[in-house]
Structure 1
C-alpha cells in the first residue's frame, strides 16, 4: 500500500479520529486490517513492516505430522504443488487453518491456544510424539518455542524455511507519526514488526522521539512474545490480545484508546 500524501494526512487529521497503526504485509491482510479499523471508528495508518521473499523450498514429505504457521506458508506450499499425503496436518490457529483449507489442504488439528506453546501442548495431549517425525514449514523468523517444545516431547523435528520476512524500504509512516506525537495507538502483530519498526526509527535518527511517542500512545501486542520484544526495546504494552488474532488485537486496542 502506498505511503500517504501530505494532503491525505491533513484530510484524515481533520476527522479528529484516533490514528491507529497496523503493520500487516501489503496484501489482502493489510486491506482487511484497514477495513476493520475503519469500521471501529479510527483512522488506520497502514504501514507494511513485512514483505515476503519465497525461498523456493517445500515441506518435506512423509512426516507423521506437518505444521504450517501462516497463510503465506500455506499458499507457497500449494503453489509449489506440495501434498501432505498421509501426514497429520496441523495449523497454528484458525486463520492459518482457513487459509490452508482455501488452497485445498484438509486440517486435522488446531490448538485451543493459537501460539507455538499452545500447539505443542495440544500435540502432546492428543498424540504420541515420542519418535514421531514432525515437519515445521514456516518463515525464517519462526519462534524457537515450537521446535524446542516438540523436540523436548521426543519428536524428530525438521524445519523448512518457506520464505523470508524483510522490511519494505517504503515503510515508516507510523514511525514518523510516533516521533511527532501524532500516533494514538499501534497494533504490533509479531516480534518482527517491532524490530522492523525500531529499525526504521534508527535509520531516521528518531528512536528517542519514537519511544516518547509510543509511551503516550496505546500499544497493543498480539501475544506474549510480541510483548516481550516491546519490553526489550523499552516499550510497555498496554494491551496484550486475549487471543492471538488481529481481530482481537484491533478491537481491544481501539477499546483502550476510547477509555
Structure 2
C-alpha cells in the first residue's frame, strides 16, 4: 500500500504553477504549491542594434513582444525549447537553441561566433553571471537589459513550515532564487533551521548545477539534478525517487 508523497513546488503563481500541479497530480504525488517568484516588469525592451540577441525565459519573450520589440537583422537565440516555443508563438524566428539548455550551453554554442560582436542579453534582474561572464570571455561586447524583476510573493512560506514539521517527501527547486526565497520565507516564519533539517528527510531536486550549488551552500542537501534542465524531468525524478521509500 502506498503512502502520500507530498512535493513542494515553487514556480511563479501563473500557468506555470498550474502546469506543475497538474504534472505532480498525474504522477500520483500530492502537490504543495508555494510560489516563491513573482514577476514585476520594468517596461523596457531589448536593444535593436545587437548582432545577437539572447532571450532566457518565456516571460522575457512575452514582455519583449508586449513592448513591440523587433529583432531586425539580429541573430535570435533562445536558452531552451520553452523559450524558443514562446518566440515562435509570438511570431519571431529562432536562429539558435543550444543542445544544453543552460547558460553554459548557450555560451558554448556561441563561442567562436561572437568575438568582437555586440550581444544583447534580455532577461530578469537575477540572471546568472555564468552567461554574461562567458560571453565576455568569448570576446563579445555584452549589453544586458533587465526586462523584469523577480520578487518573493507576500505570504509565501507554507512549504517551509511543512518541511519543518516533516510533512514533505520532496521539493523541486528550479533556480537559485527559489532556494533563497524559500529560506527567506522560512526565516520570516522562524523555522529556517527546522526547514533545512526537514528537507534532509525529503528528496530534494534542483535544476542545474548553479541551483544545486546555492542549495548546498545554504545547508540543503540536494539528491537529484536531472541531465536535462526541464521541470518535467525534475518532477518525475523526484517523485520516482521519493515514492519507493513510502511503500509497505
Q: TM-score, normalised by structure 2?
A: 0.96
Deviations 1:118-149 (A, max 9, x none): 1000111xx52111100000000000010010
Match of 1:193 in 2: 178
Q: 1:69 aligns with which of 34, 48, 56?
A: 56
In 1, Cα distance between equivalents of 2:221 and 2:173: 12
Q: 2:151 aligns with which of 140, 148, 166?
A: 166
Q: 1:243 aligns with which of 215, 228, 246?
A: 228
Q: How far has the Cα of 1:105 moved from its partner?
A: 1.3
Q: How far has the Cα of 1:17 moved from its partner?
A: 2.1
In 2, Cα distance between equivalents of 1:134 and 1:118: 16
Alignment of 1:89-238 (within 5 A): 89-124=76-111, 127-238=112-223
Match of 1:45 in 2: 32
SS of 2:200's equivalent? helix
Any stretches of 5+ residues in structure 1 without a counterpart? 1-14
In 1, Cα distance between equivalents of 2:121 and 2:178: 22
- Are 2:212 and 2:222, in contact at CA under 8 Å, matched by a contact in 1? yes
- Are 2:7 and 2:29, in contact at CA under 8 Å, matched by a contact in 1? yes
**Root-mean-square deviation over aligned CA pairs:** 1.0
Moved more, 95-104 or 52-61: 95-104
Deviations 1:26-53 (A, max 9, x none): 1111101110010000001111000000
In 1, Cα distance between equivalents of 2:185 and 2:118: 40
Match of 1:6 in 2: none
Match of 2:44 in 1: 57
Q: How far has the Cα of 1:16 moved from its partner?
A: 4.2
- Are 2:157 and 2:189, in contact at CA under 8 Å, matched by a contact in 1? no
Deviating above 2 A after TM superposition, structure 1's stretches of 4 or more consecutive aligned residues are: none
Matched, 1:86 2:73: yes
In 1, Cα distance between equivalents of 2:8 and 2:82: 21
